[in-house]
Structures are given as structure tokens and as C-alpha cells.
Amino acid sequence: MPDTIAVLDFGSQYTQVIARRIREAHVLSRIYPYNTKASVLKKDGVKGIILSGGPSSVLLKGSPRPDKKVFEMGVPVLGICYGEQLMAHMLGGRVGKSEQREFGHGTLKVAKKGKLFAGLPKNLRVWNSHGDRLDKLPKGFEAIASTENSPYATIQDAKRDFYGMQFHPEVAHSEMGMEVLNNFLVKICKCKREWSMANYIEESVRQIRETVGDKRVILGLSGGVDSSVAAALIHKAIGKQLTCVFVDNGLLRLHEREQVEKLYGDHFDLDLRVAKKANLFLGRLKGVSDPEKKRKIIGNTFVEVFDEEVNKLKKRGNYAFLAQGTLYPDVIESVAIDGNPAALIKSHHNVGGLPKKMKLDLLEPLRALFKDEVRELGSELGLPKEVVWRQPFPGPGLGVRVMGPIRKKDLDVLRRADAILHEEMMAADLYYKVWQSFCVFLPVKTVGVMGDERTYENVVALRIVESVDAMTADWARVPYEVLRTISSRIINEVTGCNRVVLDISSKPPSTIEWE
């Protein structure tokens, strides 16, 4: 097991960023609820602890606190923002309201470099986000850096290896923040840089083989990044003991089923079963316009179909495990923070919500990874770029990209239009540079002229957005020449569409998907 750093989560929007930065330094990080017992951390053998920032104030009654014994474990502790104030408060210091709150850039003046600032300049531009500040140091601590409004912007107890900083080294806005974190990991925690994707594959393959033994595994393959990488990793470990089930719900993109069959069946030699259920899905969706009803029908029907396929397989072999492409953020979100309910995972996410009557144990080989690590893993396993860097695609497929009731002829118009958009985005070298680019079928007919004839046909909208995490998004400024080619091709090549419009709304207030 590689050296591990524990990140105690106090609700900061940057907690996952801290964990990612640590992994970028080739050290394994794990996020724990803020109130995790010191005994658990000790058992896990963590080499150091980071107390994250958070929206609360240590001055408020009932604000989140860690187990006091984390300060008695004998491992280095780094408090960031709220984490610094919390550590100081619990160890005998005093925190007060700052007369001038610090949000945004500030200048950090380093008075004493020590291990934390070893090899770094004496002045750094850093990112602050706090209203409280430390007024009195706990016994044994000293100030080693200050900002305009915080005389104790960075503090240390070098004897116990306790450190605190008001600024956020994990964000890109903080100059040389990565170097500060590196110093904490290597010079202070003495971590070895052993976290790599090659090591992860080797260890995962060993664990999967040990867990599965001579039994068999079923995986719901969607063709998306997560399920594809999970399938490739499990297949590397146990080969033909893995069976993948792909459900054709009639809401796929042009030739998608054939592409999945060719890639996974032929190239990777996976045991792939395809359930061709388009008529069943489209029959149940007939006349349904409400987007939430659509999602529920698609999700429930998927579960039913997958259950049938599982039962067929279980009659033929010793199937004991259901594999899912669950990622680390899903695991983190499923843990309640400070009494708040866990965030809902989207319906129809992989095979989430499958009935317990299946009596299969879960196998989740990606549950320790972030999304970008999953992509890296997919590349290491030999998956093609078009799979590893595929844009997000909704679980209900084109069912939520046809506005209003779903009809096969409208789906066919959308499929062909979407294929043209994909081709032209690839040709312009833009597909991998945007977050998502897709077409939406509108239940609106407009007048057009083709040759000498009047037409009265459908409208297709283009939705092309840039984003980092899908929480916010802005419409992409695609060159006019590219948009003209896309529009011209759709109108000329797709029978049933005579108008193309461009969606130029941002998120918020609009969402990326239309439904």
C-alpha cells in the first residue's frame, strides 16, 4: 500500500481539489468525514493529515470539529483556512472576526522558510477566502508568514510538525501552491512518491482476482468512459469470467450499438451480450412528454431488462458479482457531511438502483479514482481516445434530447444531425476541446424553401458548451465557418429538418441538457 495522506473534509468546495493535487504529486490521498476517529486513521496507516477549509466559523456553536486525538497521533497535520483556525482554536489559540475580510488575491510575506517554504521565494501571490482570522497563537506555535490583514497567515509548531495556513495552496490562483504542498508531503510527512497508474493497475488486478476467485462477474456496459474502463480493468484481471451486458434502448446515437459490439467484442474479445429492446422502450415512451416521466420510464425499463439478462446468465454460470463504474466523487457524495443528506446520484447512472433481489455482491474497481484518473487508466489499458475522452452522454440517451413525445422518425432526424455535428467538430479539431457538443430536436415546424418548393419541417438546435466540471458552463465560441458547414450539412443531408439554431445560453441560469 503506498503512503497515504488523509484529508478531513469540513465542507470546503476545494476538498476534492486538495486530494487531486496530492495525487498529482504521486502520493495517495483519501478523503474522510471530518469526525473520523483517530483510531480509524491510525489503522489505515496515514502518514499525515490535512484539515480542509469549510464554510463554517470556529466561533459558531456546533461548528464541525475533528476527533481531538488526531493531534496525538504523532503524524504531521496541516490546517488550511478553516483548518488552521480550527487547529489553533482546539490547541489553545484564539480566533476572531477579521476587520477586513480576505477574499481573492493577497501577498504572502515569508518570514521564516523552514520545511514548508523550503526553496521558495519570500513573497508569493496567494488566494484567500476567509472572514475570520487567528488573533493568538497556541503554545509552541510561531508565525512564519503574513498577509496584508493576517499576521498569522502561516504558522508552525516545528517540534510536532503542525502547520496552518490561511490561504489555499491547492487552487491554481496561489503562486507555487503545489510546491508548498510538495514540501508538506515529502519534507515533512516523508511520503514516498509511489502512487502511479501502473501500480494501481497491478494492485487492482491482484485484488480483483483475489476477490472474485473462480466466480463470474456481470457488468452493465453503456459505452461511456466509466463502464468501459471498469470493463477493461476487470477483463485484464479475470478475462472470460467477466460478462458485459449492453442494452440497446432505441435511444442511442447513430451506429452506437454496432460500434460497441465491434470495439469490445472484436478488439477486446470481451464476452458481450446485447439486449435489443428498442421496441419495448419506445412503446412505453409513446405519448410521454414530461422529462421526469421519460427518465423514470427509461430508468425503470432498463432495470427490468438488465434484471432479465442477469437471471438468464445466472442460470448458465456461477455469477456472484455485479460490477459498476462507481468513481471516488460518487463515494464521497454518498457520505453525509455535518448531518446534511447525501447528494442524490442521477437516476440511470450506470446500473444504480438495481434490485437487491439479484443477490450479487458489488465490485467497484474505480471507486478510489477521480474522473481524470479514470481517463488516464483507460489510456494505460489501451482503450482508444474516442472512448477515453468521449463527451458526457445522458443515461436516458436521446430520450432527453427529443423535446416532447418521442417518435422513431424524430429520433432518426436527431441521430443523423448529431452524427454530422460530431464529424464536423472532429474535423475542426474542436471535439476534445469543448465539454459537450450535441443536437436537440425541437417539436417545432418552420417554413423553408428548398429549390422551388415550400417546406414545413423540423428545427434542430446545436448545444456546444465549455466547462470544467459541468457545475457551470458557457456556450463555446465556435468559428462561424464551422457553424455554417454544420448547418448547411444538416439541412441538406437530413430529411425532415429545414432549420438549425444555436443555443447561446450559459449555466446558470440554463442547464447544459435541455431536459
Question: Which residues form the catalytic set?
Answer: 81, 168, 170
Strand partners, 22: none
Q: How many residues would you count in the chain?
A: 515
On whether 224 is known to bind a ligand per the annotation, the reply is yes
On whether 382 is known to bind a ligand per the annotation, the reply is no
Closest by CA to 139, choosing from 159, 124, 121, 169, is 159
Q: Is 446 exposed, middle or buried (0-12, 13-18, 19+ CB in 10 A)?
A: middle
Angle, vertex CA 156, rays to CA 155 and CA 157, nearest 5: 145
Asked if 108 and 119 touch (Cβ cutoff 8 Å), the reply is: no
On whether 227 is known to bind a ligand per the annotation, the reply is yes
On whether 135 is known to bind a ligand per the annotation, the reply is no
Asked if 391 and 437 touch (Cβ cutoff 8 Å), the reply is: yes
Q: What is the DSSP letter of 186?
A: I
Asked if 77 and 48 touch (Cβ cutoff 8 Å), the reply is: yes
Q: What is the DSSP letter of 48?
A: E
Closest by CA to 34, choosing from 54, 18, 48, is 54
Cell numbers for 209:
482476482
On whether 289 is known to bind a ligand per the annotation, the reply is no
On whether 225 is known to bind a ligand per the annotation, the reply is yes
The Cβ-side half-sphere exposure at 246, using a 13 Å CA radius, reads 26
Residue 499 CB partners (closer than 8 Å, separation 6+): 446, 448, 457, 458, 459, 460, 491
Asked if 370 and 23 touch (Cβ cutoff 8 Å), the reply is: yes
121: preceding bond cis by omega (within 30 degrees): no
In angstroms, how far is CA 58 from the centroid of its own chain?
30
On whether 303 is known to bind a ligand per the annotation, the reply is no
Structure-derived torsion over alpha carbons of residues 372, 373, 375, 381, reported in degrees to the nearest 10: 170
At 513, is the secondary structure helix, strand, or coil? coil
> Could you give the CA distance from residue 489 to residue 483 in angstroms, rounded to a whole number?
10
Cell numbers for 447:
417554413
**Binding-site entries for ATP:** 222-228
**Binding-site entries:** 222-228
